[in-house]
Structure 1
Amino acid sequence: MSPPAADGRRRRFEAGERAIIRDVTTEVHLGLSRARPPRRATADLSGRILGPYRIVERLGAGGMGQVYRAEDLALGRQVAIKVLSPKVASRGGWQRLLYEARALAAIDHPNVVTLYAVERAAGRRLMVMELVRGRHLGRLIPDGGFDGERFLQLALPLAAALGAAHAAGIVHRDVKPANVMVGDDGRLKLIDFGLAKLGPAVESPDELRSVRYALRRQGHVLGTYPYMSPEQLRGEPTDPRSDVFSLGTVLYEMASGRHPFPGDEQAAVVAAILGHPPRPLAAVKAGLPAGLGRIVGRCLEKEPPARYANAGQVQVALAGLAARRSPAGRRRWLRRSLARGVG
């Protein structure tokens, strides 16, 4: 498949994305994918000072607001700042931003994007995050998928990041290649917790708990359909096993370069997710690590009880696979990678 055709295929599978991304070589978490583009141009804040932050350049814009690269003047570091539009902030957008921030604050893992602050400056509502310079996973997957070693270098930290969220009582609910950043330094970051389901220990204030119901009343789709689990598509309750299904979909695509539930139309993809098993990985691509098809196949079971209970279990299975196929030197590399969180 030619690169343009591959790009077209990936665009179909990211049909929920509506963010306007200016730079394909430096992408950051926008959190705007479920919002409609602004009906008219929004003022660019580049060059402005918002509290301790000097806005450098706009990276993206959408219905909820804008995302900028900025300089933290107090600490001398580059950051990403999500600035809510005043209209959205007054209509519950601030509570939604706090909801996402609470999810990020509950997770301490090197492969999850870091939250620095949530504050108000110069009359604007801001969420300040780690700036990830790199590209999202969807732009990196080759037509035939990654080779075995590169697959494991990325799959292990991805499973570890999602496992850390599950250990914190958080269900991401939007795991997909566009929400996985691979930095220029090789470090993988799981991003965009805007649709996350928080556990009772995290989601305590009533005002944050009400965000979920507001999203449903407003008709927001809680996920991106090519990567949603069957229970998500049916509107049923979700738990970490729903994320495991989405993770399995991403792993299948990483290994083979193909989506496990192909289709040119949304209805065909949904029907396949709900009722048709994917082709076994071994039948799609030869030379994959032994046992990988079994791991991914278990992630993609239609019924939640048949899947791994959480992404931490997927990480353990992948680590075991890597150890079995590796000499002692590679096992040492594996331990270092898991300890450092580097993909």
Structure 2
Amino acid sequence: MSARPGAEEEGRYEDLGPIAAGGMGEVRRVRDRVLGRIVAMKVLLPERLHLPDAVGRFVEEARTAAVLQHPGMIPVHELGWLPDGRPYFTMEEVRGRTLADAIRELHAASDRVYRPPASGLGLVGLLEAVRQVCAAVGFAHARGVVHRDLKPSNVMLGRHGEVRVVDWGIARIGEAAGPLDEEEPLRPAFETQGRLTGTPRYMAPEQVTGGVVGPQVDVWALGCILYELLSGRAPYASDDTLEVLALLASDAPIPAPSQRTPLPVDPALDALVAEALRPDPAERPAHAGVLAARLGAWLEGESRRQRAEARVAEARGLLERAEAAQVEAVEAERRASELLRDVADADPEERKAPGWAEQDRARELRRDARRYGTEAEIALQAALADAPDAVEIRRMLAARHHAAHAAAEAIKDHDAAERAEGFLRAELALLPDSPERRAWARWLEGTGELTLVTDPPGAVVRAHRYVPHGRRLVTREEGVLGTTPLIRVPLGSGSWLLTLEHPERETVRYPVFLERAGVWDGVPPEGGDPVPVWLPPRGSLAPDDCYVPAGWFLAGEEGHPLVRRWADAFVAKRMPVDNAAFIAFLDDLVRSGQEERALEVCPRDDFNKAGASTPIYGRRADGTFFLQPDADGDLWEPGWPVMMLGLPSFLAYAAWRSERDGLPWRLPGSYEWEKAARG
């Protein structure tokens, strides 16, 4: 500078050095001694002082900036003249960097995806800055002001998040356009045909061809800024000014930003850029406020999408924790079973405590799993509020409801199953077609597959479904499924009784429980082919014999998930061994010379205690047994189940019966009891 700033008012401004310089003037940092603050002072360059209109344009820039009182504009404090006649104006100093610097840093840090640099904003933050620029320029357009030289280097990003549009040096003021609340075209701020003004890379075609210049030239420039932010380069990025001008004049096609960068560009942003860069000004958004609104809508959607993604990530983590807790609970239950397997009810608590501790831990883990699952569902519902059309969120919710439905059915919690089914149906109604959706629909439909092989083949299979009636389950015939072998025959889920009818064999009752969309095939635990259901020859079973065919059944306690177990075929008596049958056994022992053995195994009043005890049955003179009143005076009936026996007595009876009938009679195991009872 040839003269110190503020020389006319000696001592008010202290020069602290240059900030920047441009074609028209330079900006210096000064201290305002009167107000005690640091401000920026823009001064016309000495060599520009005598150029036509230079002073007028400089003063117009100051006055234009002064009338645009908006958060996106730099406030102007004072307009004055130096002793050498050069004008100056002071304004707020924005400390920070330009948008051009931020864009370069973003693309230098990005590889395949946009990554925020260590010292700057990421893509969304810079898009918000561009939105604020659009809003500020839209404010100017509403007041009839067109900037005409918008570019990334004319946007300042302050240290405290402020975004300011600078360098209004070639702006023009025309007729005020009124409130900025509609997308109707503004009246041109001015209409002029004249010399070329602006920066070629960001100039609109009409600025080059001498057409009507209005707010749409700024819309074009803002489209160029957005283009550069997304792709890392201007639409016409040549260093040859004449080449850029020729491309502008010829309306050369501009590839979408997504075609100029390997980084992922949202198609909606591609479309917004394309709209702003239409060669015909009339086809562009009418003013910058339209761009601000559309970019704001996209950012709001992006913000909601990011919130949704964060909540989905939270839900995934919670579901993983829920699954891990379930796995630990199963392991704790297994350890508890091992620890308590050989512990009797009468054992001291010290022996039971380790097993009880594992049971308590399993219950706590299952509570944790339920809590994590509930929290995950809450997070997914919150994510859905931000992204109602997100298929992945609905898919995760559907998977959650499917799992809840399966778990509720496993423990026969009908209310919970009905609730989960309702939620699952609601989600499926909103999901697009996919293999997973079709699988869930089949699950709700409940149809499974039955494979059934018999020995010999050729049995007619009639299906009877168990249905509730009169507060109990009864069978209802549904029809004939076919003749064995049946291979992958469709059958609804639930409990069924199949009757297998063969002309040369006994009719066999074959219970089937088919899980939703499940498969019943009779394949044993070791795998391989299905085990054929053996059909006993006609007349081989006594009237009180119950033939239990081999197969799977569900075992376990009510209120807990049932476990599938396999049982080989066996025949059980329909009724327990009664007094009449047991007396026949004892009498046979007596007649065969085993009277002492008969006395050892007969019912006694204190059969569990050591020492002498009294037989329950009476004795005849020949040593045989008969029913007599017990010690309480009660007379046992012949058809009552035999009682007051120890295990050796039952084993002795089974051995005697096997020898007599030629069949391997034995006591049923606990799972065989359950298989015979459950079917």
Q: Above 0.5 in TM-score?
A: yes
- The CA distance in 2 between the partners of 1:63 and 1:283, in whole Å, is 34
Q: Which amino acid aligns with 1:191?
A: V
Q: CA deviation at 1:298?
A: 0.2
- The CA distance in 2 between the partners of 1:319 and 1:89, in whole Å, is 42
Tell me the residue number matched to 1:283.
259
Tell me the residue number matched to 1:127.
89
- The CA distance in 2 between the partners of 1:318 and 1:292, in whole Å, is 8
1:45 aligns with 2:4: yes
**C-alpha contact 1:299 1:308 (8 A) present in aligned 2:** yes
- The CA distance in 1 between the partners of 2:302 and 2:159, in whole Å, is 28
**Greater CA radius of gyration, 1 or 2?**
2
**C-alpha contact 1:46 1:58 (8 A) present in aligned 2:** no
Alignment of 1:198-237 (within 5 A): 198-200=173-175, 221-237=196-212
**C-alpha contact 1:97 1:127 (8 A) present in aligned 2:** no
Q: CA deviation at 1:57?
A: 1.5
- The CA distance in 2 between the partners of 1:87 and 1:276, in whole Å, is 38
- The CA distance in 2 between the partners of 1:289 and 1:47, in whole Å, is 51
Bigger relative contact order, structure 1 or 2 (CA pairs below 8 A, ≥6 apart): 1
Please provide the CA RMSD for this pair: 3.0
Tell me the residue number matched to 1:78.
38
Give the 3 Å change call, closer, same or farther, for CA 239–62 of structure 1 in structure 2. closer
Q: Which amino acid aligns with 2:211?
A: E
- The CA distance in 2 between the partners of 1:303 and 1:245, in whole Å, is 10
Partner secondary structure for residue 303 of structure 2: coil
- The CA distance in 1 between the partners of 2:218 and 2:69, in whole Å, is 19
Q: Which amino acid aligns with 2:72?
A: N
Give TM-score, length-normalised by structure 2. 0.38
**C-alpha contact 1:240 1:310 (8 A) present in aligned 2:** yes
List per-residue Cα deviations over 1:85-138 (Å, max 9, x = no partner).
Answer: 566445543322211112112211111122111123556532111111122221
- The CA distance in 2 between the partners of 1:242 and 1:90, in whole Å, is 29
Tell me the residue number matched to 2:677.
none
Tell me the residue number matched to 2:247.
272
1:103 aligns with 2:64: yes
Partner secondary structure for residue 326 of structure 1: helix
**C-alpha contact 1:166 1:310 (8 A) present in aligned 2:** yes
- The CA distance in 2 between the partners of 1:268 and 1:164, in whole Å, is 33
Q: Which amino acid aligns with 1:169?
A: G
Q: Structure 2: where are the runs of 5+ without partners?
A: 115-121, 178-190, 309-679
- The CA distance in 2 between the partners of 1:62 and 1:319, in whole Å, is 32
- The CA distance in 1 between the partners of 2:26 and 2:233, in whole Å, is 32
Alignment of 1:1-343 (within 5 A): 42-43=1-2, 45=4, 50-51=9-10, 52-61=12-21, 64-84=24-44, 88-89=48-49, 91=51, 92-120=53-81, 122=83, 125-142=87-104, 143=107, 147-200=122-175, 221-274=196-249, 275-285=251-261, 286-327=263-304
Give the 3 Å change call, closer, same or farther, for CA 152–330 of structure 1 in structure 2. farther
Tell me the residue number matched to 1:23.
none
- The CA distance in 1 between the partners of 2:246 and 2:174, in whole Å, is 30
**C-alpha contact 1:44 1:58 (8 A) present in aligned 2:** no
**C-alpha contact 1:46 1:56 (8 A) present in aligned 2:** no
Q: Structure 1: where are the runs of 5+ without partners?
A: 1-41, 203-211, 332-343
- The CA distance in 2 between the partners of 1:44 and 1:242, in whole Å, is 37
**C-alpha contact 1:82 1:126 (8 A) present in aligned 2:** yes
Q: CA deviation at 1:324?
A: 2.1
Q: CA deviation at 1:251?
A: 0.6
Give the 3 Å change call, closer, same or farther, for CA 289–45 of structure 1 in structure 2. same
- The CA distance in 1 between the partners of 2:256 and 2:300, in whole Å, is 23
- The CA distance in 2 between the partners of 1:158 and 1:138, in whole Å, is 13
Q: CA deviation at 1:254?
A: 0.8
- The CA distance in 1 between the partners of 2:9 and 2:283, in whole Å, is 50
**C-alpha contact 2:8 2:82 (8 A) present in aligned 1:** no
Give the 3 Å change call, closer, same or farther, for CA 201–158 of structure 1 in structure 2. closer
**C-alpha contact 2:25 2:43 (8 A) present in aligned 1:** yes
Give TM-score, length-normalised by structure 1. 0.72
Partner secondary structure for residue 141 of structure 1: helix
Q: CA deviation at 1:308?
A: 0.3
Tell me the residue number matched to 1:207.
none
Q: Which moved more, 1:102-111 or 1:123-132?
A: 123-132
- The CA distance in 1 between the partners of 2:245 and 2:47, in whole Å, is 34
**C-alpha contact 1:158 1:189 (8 A) present in aligned 2:** yes
Q: Which amino acid aligns with 1:307?
A: R
Q: CA deviation at 1:224?
A: 0.8
Partner secondary structure for residue 236 of structure 2: coil
Q: Which moved more, 1:227-236 or 1:84-93?
A: 84-93
Q: Which moved more, 1:146-155 or 1:168-177?
A: 146-155
Give the 3 Å change call, closer, same or farther, for CA 69–330 of structure 1 in structure 2. farther
Partner secondary structure for residue 327 of structure 1: helix
List per-residue Cα deviations over 1:207-253 (Å, max 9, x = no partner).
Answer: xxxxx99x95xx6x311111100000112221001110011001100
- The CA distance in 2 between the partners of 1:63 and 1:278, in whole Å, is 29
**C-alpha contact 1:67 1:82 (8 A) present in aligned 2:** yes
- The CA distance in 1 between the partners of 2:42 and 2:276, in whole Å, is 33
Q: Which moved more, 1:277-286 or 1:43-52?
A: 43-52
**C-alpha contact 1:159 1:311 (8 A) present in aligned 2:** yes
- The CA distance in 2 between the partners of 1:200 and 1:47, in whole Å, is 34
